[in-house]
Every structure is written in structure tokens, then in C-alpha cells.
Chain A
Amino acid sequence: MQKNVRLTYFLFLALTIGEVLHLAIDIGLFYAGEARAYLISFGILFLKDVLACVTVVSLYVLIRRQIEAHALPDTIAWVEPEDAFKRGAILITLIIALLAIYSTLFSPSDFNPEDEILAAAPQTIYTVFKSHLTVLTFGSYLLSLFIVAERLILFRRLKNTKSNFLLMAAFLVLGSLAMIGSKKGDRLNVLAIAFLSVSGFMMLINLFRLSWILPIRRDEKIRAIFLVPLIIGGLVIGIEELHLDEHFTAYSFSVSIFLEGIAIFGTLYLIVTLFSLLFYLPTSEAFERKSSEVKNLYAMSKFITDVFEEEKIYDSLVSYAREACGGSSSVWFDMYQPYSEGASMAESAVAEKLPNLQWRSLNGELGFFKTVAQQNISLEEIHRFSSKADFIWKQVAEQKSIVRIDDVENDVRFGAPSSAVKQFWRRVKSSPASSNGIGSIVSVPLLARNKLIGVLCVAKDVEYGFVKEDLELITTFADQAAVAIDNSRLIRELIDKERLQQELLVAQKIQLRLLPQSQPKLNGFELDGVSYPAYEVGGDYFDYIQIDELNRTLGVIVADVSGKGTSAAFYMAELKGVVQSLARIYPHSPKEFLCRTNETIARGLEKASFISALYGIVDTDQNILHLSNAGHCPAVVVQGDEARLIKMKGLALGLDKGALFSQHISEAHIEVNKGDVVVLYTDGVIEAVDKNGEQFGYERLMEVARHSRQKNASEIKSDIFNAVNAFTNDGGAVKDDLTIVVLKRCAV
């Protein structure tokens, strides 16, 4: 920072010293009068040129630094072209005016063409001052023009752009330097001609670097077209009318070559610019349109990723579509809802009166459209229009295709006469506002996975308002929005599902607490049980009920509520309550217990539900198992090395409310010897299938129980469970909840 400031001061100092010394020499020369002829030597001219170069170089660097300091961010052009033209035009007007006023005030201030010594000598002292003033103002202007041109030429540069420009500038500088020490009227030397020719050639190349024109806006271009001629005019007036070039020459021949060179280049560049502006003007609208399309599409694609609120997507869709089709168009979005999802609403007569609902019968199925976002049109207007044009929504919903009406007033689908003459007559008669000001309309369906989400309607007040590109753009918006809406719905579904999953996990935890947490104590016996639900929660139930305090009598129940999942789980919980309370009231007879349980529970069960249950009372005094079965899988009893099923008659709980149930239920009394094993289970075990669809069945269960009879209850339970798992492995399945309870009388 400090260094920059110091450099500025230094340049300023150099500029001042160079200028003051130069001015002093010129004044001296002027007053030298006749002696001039002797004083003007190569040495003096060389000194003058060097001082002039110092001044011009300092000026150039100062101006360049100044422009760069005020450069716009993010652009290598440093300047906004239109803004630069505006300033340029004002500045040149001021400079020309200043110099013109100077000439009028201090006339005569031009050169005397008859002077023989200097070819053209200053007429008065004012001429000397004017020369210096010209360089400092008009010269500075040319320098800044050169800098701006450089930045514009380098905009969107190609590989050679920069070197082309630098070559041009360098040869111009070399050409000027080659003439150091010469005076006005001297002929250009060979070296200067060569350098300047090369520079001129490079100018031709650089003239056509105009890539900055294309991106500027149409209105900016129009303004530029008026500004550029002003600058060209200023330059031409300055040189042709005020003869400012002569003052350059008087200042320093060498510098004048450079300044005139950039004046020529600048003028030509501005002329080419002017023509380019004129040529680009007609295509400018198309270009702007394209770029705004790209911008809108980009914005659309962006909101897909970060908007998960459906309503926001509707609004954005509508405003993007409106932006794309021109501000005067009306846009609205109708959401589609099939009958099944809004059945109650669809039949409501009240709803039909609302202006924002449009009821349609589709293929015999009712579905409806609801306007959820609109711009530049009221709900009443939409409703009025849609009541006339209901075929649009019908067609969109049925065929999922775009509906386009170019001339609403004269479309046969609106019942307009088909003959052209009648149409014309109708048009003459009707006022333009008769169709809510809708002249043409395009309705585009939003489809996600081939399902209709809604319709985007774009209407214009003129007939034939839509071209192919409009349609393409609207369709693209619709497609993008459809994806976004679909995503947002999927995510919401997922969130709901997740929440449900969480709640099910809570239910699962609770249900697990309903099952026995530990093995019961029973004299001379051991028990173990396990239950796995097919889903998060299930309808299987097993329990132990301590009937006395001395661990002598224990109730064991295994039950299976019909169905699976949540409803089964509720009944299972209810069953537990009933079982726990009734078991102690009927401590001796399992049959009695099941009859009472049936009476209690049948009232609360829905018709389609029932519960199969197997209840046993273990009497350790007599080592007898009293067993009763309500439609449940028969218990497996292993005695010695023989396994058998205890098949008993009985209805499942809930199938019959009383008489039939108690008539058919039976009771078995099984003597349990040391080492005997009883297995209670649910049909999940029997109905587990392997990959071929074969069931695990009773035989396999009995075989596993028999085989493992020497082990303790927990191990037998695990063996059975593992056997079922091994059976269903590799393609099979346990279709139902699965429960195993093993009772074993200890061998010793």
C-alpha cells in the first residue's frame, strides 16, 4: 500500500518535472526569436523529446493505475463498456470545449505556416501553452482510450490476443522512439516506417477483437450506439477542426507519432464497434433470452436439491415459467389428486363451490385439480376460464399430454364456429376481454414415474402467443419441477415411515416386556421359552403363572393370535391381562380356565380374529401335567426315547362365544416322569418352509425333541430353534411369529 502511494507520488513528480522543464525550454525557444534557428539543434530537440516521453509515460502509468484502481470486481475488462462510453463522451466534449474556449480567448494561438525555420512556428506565447495543454488533456484522453480499448480487446482473450496487442503497442512505441530528436517536417526514417508499418498491420488484426459486445444487454447496446458516434465525432473534430495534431507535433514529434497512432487506432476501433453494435442489435434479444433461459434452468435445477417443501416448489415453478414467457403472461399450477386419496373432499358439495377447485370425472373415476399457486391471475378468473375449458384438464389427466390452444376465442373446442368468415365476424363483434383476457394457453402435465402430479398452465392475452421454444422451456420447467415434487414427496414418505418404524420399535420393546423375563422356579422341573415375532411386533404369547407361593404349581400358556403385526400385538397384550388374572382363580383345571378365558376375550375380539391357546398346569406334587387345548398345535411329549403328539379336540378362543366352545374342549392328564420333556410351540415352527416350499412339520420337531431329550430345557429350546433356522436357511422362510417353550422334569 505504502509502496503504491510512493510510486504514485514519484510518477507525479516525474510528470511535473518533465512538463515544467519542457515548458521552460519551449518558452525559452519562443522568446529566443530569431536566435531560434541557431538554438534548435539535435541536442535540444533530443532533450525535448526525452522530457516529453517522461511526461507521457508518467501520464500513461498514472491513468492506467487510476482506471485499474476503480476497476469493477470480477471482470478483466475493468470497465463496463456502456459506462466507459458515457464517461468518454462527456469527457471528450469537455476537452474539446475547453480547447475551443482557450483558442477563442487567447487568439491567435495557432501556428504560423509561413515560418521557415520551424515549418510552423507558434504565433504567440499562447500557442506554446496551448500545445502543452492539448497534450495534458487531449493526449491524456487518447491514452485512456487506448487503455480501455486494450481491456476490451483482451476480454475473452484467445491465445494470441494479448501478444497481438502488445506487438502493436510495442511497434508503435518503437516507431515513435525511432524519430527521437527530429523536428516537425522531418521525414520519417526507414526504421520508423518499418516499425509503424508492422504496428499498422497489427492494428488491423486488433480492430476486430469485439467479443465484449455479445454479452452486453440490448438496452445497453442501444445507448452505446448513440454514445460511440459522440466520441468518434469528438476525436475527428479535435484533429480535423482544431488541428490538435499540430500541437502534438510542436510538443514533440516523437510523442505525436505515438499519440496520433493511438488516435487513429482508437477512432477505427470505435467505428468497427459502432457497426458491430448495429449488426448485433437484432440478435441481441435472442441472446439475452437464451442466457436468461440458462439462468432460469440453473436456478430450477438448484431448487430441486435444496427445497423440500412442496409449496415452495409450486411457487418457484410458477414464477420461473412466468419469467420465461414474459411478464405479461398469467401462470398457475393445478395439483392433481386422484379420487381415492381425497374421496371425502371430492364428494363434498361445499368444496365444489370454491373457485379454486375444479372437479373432473376421469374414466369414470373422480379426480380433482386444485390451484395451489398462481401469478397475474385471480382464482375467480381461473375458475371462470376452467368452467368453459374443462376439456383441457380432462385431456391432460387422461392422455398426460400437452394441451395447446393458440386462439381461445376461435377454437372449435370452445364451441366457436368453424368457418373462417364466421370466426372473423365473431372477432369483430367480441371485445378482447371476453375470455378473461386469455388469448392462448398452454397446459403442461407434470409427470413423475408416469403418475400425474398436476398441470402447469401458462396463458397469454394474445392469440398465437407461444412459439416452439416457449413450449420446450415450459416443458423443461415442468419436468424439473415434477422431479422435485416427487423427491419431496418421497422424502416426506420416508420420514413418516421412519417415524412409524421408531414407534414400532417402542412397541416391540413393550411387547418384549410382556413376555417372561426369566425362567420360573418350579420344584424338580426346569422351563425355558423364547418368542420371535415375524415383524417388529407379533401375536405370539407365552407365559408362566405362579399359582402358589411354594413353587409347587405353575401355569404355562402358549398362544397365537390370528394375523400378524400390530393388531395381533394388541390382542396379545389383552390376552396377557386376562390370563394373569384368571389363572389363579382356576388353579386346578386348564379346561375351566380356557372356557372362562374364551368368554372374557371373545367379547373384545373382532369377528375375523381368534386366538389358539394351549394351557398346562404343572402339579409338582403328583408330577402331572394337566393340559387343555383351544385350537392350538398339539404339545410334543418325549417319554423315554419316544416322542408323541398330544392331540386334543378344541375350538380356538374367540370362534364361539360359549356353548360350542365348552362342549368340545377336553383335558388331558400326563404323568411326567424323570427326564421327560414337553414342548409347547406355535405354528411358526411347523409352518416354517425350506426353499422348496416344504414345511418343517411335526415329524422333524418330534425328532429334534427326541434327539435332544438328554439336554436341559434351555438347550432343547435352542436346538429346536436352530433346527428351524437351519431348515429355512438358503431360500426358505419362517412365515409367522415363532414361539418355543420347553418343560423338562429333571432327571435326578
Chain B
Amino acid sequence: MASFNASIRESGTANIIDISGDLDAHTSIELERVIQGLIDKGRTNIIVNFSKLNYISSAGLGVFMSFIDEVRSKGGDIKFTNMPNKIFQIFDLLGFPLLYEIYDDEHKAVEKFQTTASS
């Protein structure tokens, strides 16, 4: 069984989810639970750090799709950072960069949330 782990950090107004391992149909349920937990607490500024992710399946991508509307309607966003090239190619292929903000560096995403909040 593929291993997967998701942990939450806070940085300023943003909540950073570090994900590692394989994100597939089985493990995506765990990520769903983590994101749902954040939304339930009203923490909708979400950054997903992909630096340690090894594999993502289409079901894994679906997790973000299923939350993005809700998060944005509540004034938040889901931003992606630190994607390994292999993972980025998959996102790129499907056209995700058109729908999500993707940054090389976590700090840029955190800053982005800060500026949005202050403006």
C-alpha cells in the first residue's frame, strides 16, 4: 500500500498542508478529510506544498477540484507550491495552471495571501 501523509502548518494567515508519498484514489480520502477540517474551522487560505509528493493520480487532482469552489466562495483560495517537475507536468497537461495559482516557493504564496487580505 502506498504511503501518504498530510500535515498542517500555519504561516501568517495561510494554512500550509505538506503532503508526501503517493496521492491516489485511496489516499485522497485522507487529504479530503484534512482540507474539509480546515474549511470547517473557517481556515480557507490553503497552501498545498507538494515538495515531498512522489505521485499523484487523477483522483488526487479531483480532491482540489471538489473544494476549490467552496473555498473561493468563502473568500479563500487553494494555492500550490514547490511542485516537483514530474508532478507539475501532470497539472500542466490537464490545464490546472489556468485554474490554480502555482508557485515555486511557499513564501510567495504566503505573501500573496497577506497582500490579498490587506488590499
Which residues of A are in contact with B by a Cβ distance under 8 Å?
560-565, 606-610, 612, 630-634, 649-652, 655-656, 660, 664, 683, 687, 693, 695, 735-736
Contact residue among B25, B54, B90 (Cβ-Cβ distance under 8 Å from A563): B25
Asked whether, in the complex, the Cβ of A651 is within 8 Å of the Cβ of B95, the reply is: yes
Q: Chain B 78-100, CB within 8 Å of chain A: the 1/0 string?
A: 00000000100010011110110
- Closest B residue to A606 by beta carbon equals B66
| A612 contacts B93, C-beta separation under 8 Å | yes
Chain A CB within 8 A of B34 CB:
no
Q: Is the CB of A562 within 8 A of B59?
A: yes
Q: How distant is the Cα of A633 from the Cα of B90 in the complex, in angstroms? A: 9
- CB of B74, distance to nearest CB on chain A (Å): 15
Rounded to whole Å, the gap between the CB of B58 and the closest CB of chain A is: 3
- Residue in contact with B58 in the complex, picked from A562, A634, A649, A660, CB distance below 8 Å: A562
**Would A564 and B99 count as touching, CB distance under 8 A?**
no
What's the A-B contact tally at a CB cutoff of 8 Å?
71
Complex Cα–Cα for A660 and B98 (A): 8
Tell me the bound Cα distance from A736 to B90 in angstroms. 14
In the complex the two chains form, is A560's CB within 8 Å of B58's CB? yes
On whether the beta carbons of A652 and B95 are closer than 8 Å, the reply is yes
Q: Indicate the member of B65, B69, B96 with the most A CB atoms within 10 Å.
A: B65
Chain B contacts with A in 20-75, Cβ cutoff 8 A: 24-25, 54-55, 57-59, 61-63, 65-66, 69
Closest to B68 in A: A607
How distant is A13 from chain B, measured CB to nearest CB, in Å?
Answer: 92
CB pair A651–B94 under 8 Å, yes or no, is yes
B99 near A607 (CB under 8 angstroms)?
Answer: no
Q: Which residues of A contact B86 (CB under 8 A)?
A: 695
Q: Which of B24, B25, B93 has the most CB of A within 10 A?
A: B93
Contact partners of B25 in chain A: CB under 8 A: 563-565
Q: Is the CB of B62 within 8 A of A656?
A: no
Interface range on chain B (Cβ under 8 Å from partner)? 20 to 34
Cβ contacts under 8 Å, A564 to chain B: 25, 57, 59
Is the beta-carbon distance between A660 and B99 smaller than 8 angstroms?
yes
CB proximity of A744 to chain B, nearest CB, Å: 25
Beta-carbon contact of B62 and A609 below 8 Å: yes
CB distance from B80 to the nearest CB of A (A): 15
Interface centre among B59, B63, B86 (most CB of A within 10 A): B59
Going nearest first, the 6 A-B pairs with the smallest beta carbon separation are A651-B95, A608-B62, A562-B58, A608-B66, A631-B94, A607-B66
In whole angstroms, what is the CA distance A544 to B54 when docked?
35
Q: Which of B58, B63, B66, B98 has the most CB of A within 10 A?
A: B58
- A564-B25, A610-B94, A631-B94 are known contacts. Are A655 and B59 too (CB-CB below 8 A)? no
Interchain CB contact under 8 A, B93 and A633: yes
State the CA gap A196–B25 with chains docked (Å): 96
Q: Is the CB of B57 within 8 A of A631?
A: no
Chain A hits for B24, CB < 8 A: 735
Query: Who on chain B is nearest to A651 by CB?
Result: B95
A607 and B94 in contact, given A560-B58, A563-B62, A660-B99 (Cβ under 8 angstroms): no
A289-B46 Cα distance, complex, nearest whole Å: 70
In-complex Cβ contact of A736 among B57, B62, B66, B94 (8 A): B57
Which residues on the A side are within 8 Å of B93 (C-beta)?
612, 631-634
Select which of B55, B57, B58 is within 8 A of A610 by beta carbon.
B58
- Known contacts A631-B94, A664-B98, A607 near B57 by CB under 8 Å: no
Question: A483 vs B61: C-alpha distance in the bound complex, in angstroms?
Answer: 43
B residues in contact with A561, CB < 8 Å: 58
Choose among B57, B59, B94 the residue that contacts A652 (Cβ–Cβ < 8 A). Answer: B94
Nearest-neighbor residue (CB-CB) of B94 within chain A: A631
Contacts of A608 in B (CB 8 A): 59, 62-63, 65-66
Q: Quick check: B62 and A562 within 8 Å, CB to CB?
A: yes
Residues of chain B lying within 8 A (CB to CB) of residue A560: 58
A654 CB, nearest partner CB in chain B, Å: 8
For B86, B98, B99, the residue with the greatest tally of chain A CB atoms inside 10 Å of its CB is B98
Residue among A607, A693, A735 with the highest chain B CB neighbour number at 10 A? A607
Alpha-carbon gap, A190 to B57, bound state (A): 110
Contact: B99 with A656, CB < 8 Å?
Answer: yes
Instruction: Give Cα distance in the complex from A610 to B66, angstroms.
Output: 10
Query: A610 to B98, Cβ gap below 8 A?
Result: no
CB-CB < 8 A to B61: which residues of A? Answer: 562, 610
The CA-CA distance from A15 to B86 in the complex, in Å, is 112
CB-defined contacts of A633 to chain B, threshold 8 Å: 93
Asked whether A655 and B95 contact (CB < 8 A) given A564-B25, A607-B69, the answer is yes
Complex Cα distance, B3 from A208, in Å, reads 75
In this complex, the member of A565, A630, A736 whose beta carbon has the largest number of chain B beta carbons within 10 angstroms is A736
Q: How far is the CB of B91 from chain A (nearest CB, A)?
A: 10
B29 nearest CB across to chain A (Å): 11
Complex CA gap A606/B59 in Å reads 12
Nearest CB of chain B from residue A684's CB, rounded to whole Å: 11
Q: How far is the CB of B11 from chain A (nearest CB, A)?
A: 27
Question: Are the C-beta atoms of B58 and A607 separated by less than 8 Å?
Answer: no
Residues of A within 8 A of B65 (CB): 607-610, 655
Binary CB contact string for chain B from 89 to 119 against chain A (1 if under 8 A, 0 otherwise) = 0100111101100000000000000000000
A656 to B95 CA separation, bound complex (whole angstroms): 10
Q: 24 A-B Cβ contacts within 8 A?
A: A562-B61, A563-B58, A563-B59, A563-B62, A564-B57, A606-B66, A607-B65, A608-B62, A609-B62, A610-B58, A631-B93, A633-B93, A649-B95, A651-B95, A652-B95, A655-B96, A656-B98, A656-B99, A660-B99, A664-B95, A664-B98, A683-B58, A735-B24, A736-B57
A565 to B24, CA, bound (A): 13
Nearest chain-B residue to A564 (Cβ)?
B25
Rounded to whole Å, the gap between the CB of A733 and the closest CB of chain B is 11
Q: What residue of chain B has the Cβ atom nearest to residue A663's Cβ?
A: B98
Residue of A631, A633, A687 with highest tally of chain B CB at under 10 A? A631
* Complex CA–CA separation, A735 to B24 (angstroms): 10
Looking across the interface, which residue of chain A has its beta carbon closest to that of B70?
A607
Which chain A residue has the least Cβ–Cβ distance from B62?
A: A608
Further 17 A-B residue pairs, CB within 8 A, beyond A609-B62, A695-B86? A562-B58, A563-B59, A564-B57, A608-B65, A610-B94, A612-B58, A612-B93, A631-B93, A633-B93, A649-B95, A652-B95, A655-B99, A660-B98, A664-B95, A683-B58, A735-B55, A736-B58
Bound-complex Cα distance A656 to B100 (A): 12
Q: Pick from B57, B62, B63, B66: contact of A735, CB below 8 A.
A: B57
How many Å lie between the Cα of A603 and that of B94 in the bound state?
18
- Chain A nearest CB from B26 CB (Å) reads 10
Q: How far is the CA of A655 from the CA of B93 in the complex (A)?
A: 13
Distance from B57 Cβ to chain A, minimum over Cβ atoms (Å): 7
Residues of A within 8 A of B66 (CB): 606-608
Q: Who on chain B is nearest to A611 by CB?
A: B58
A655 touches B94 (CB 8 A): yes
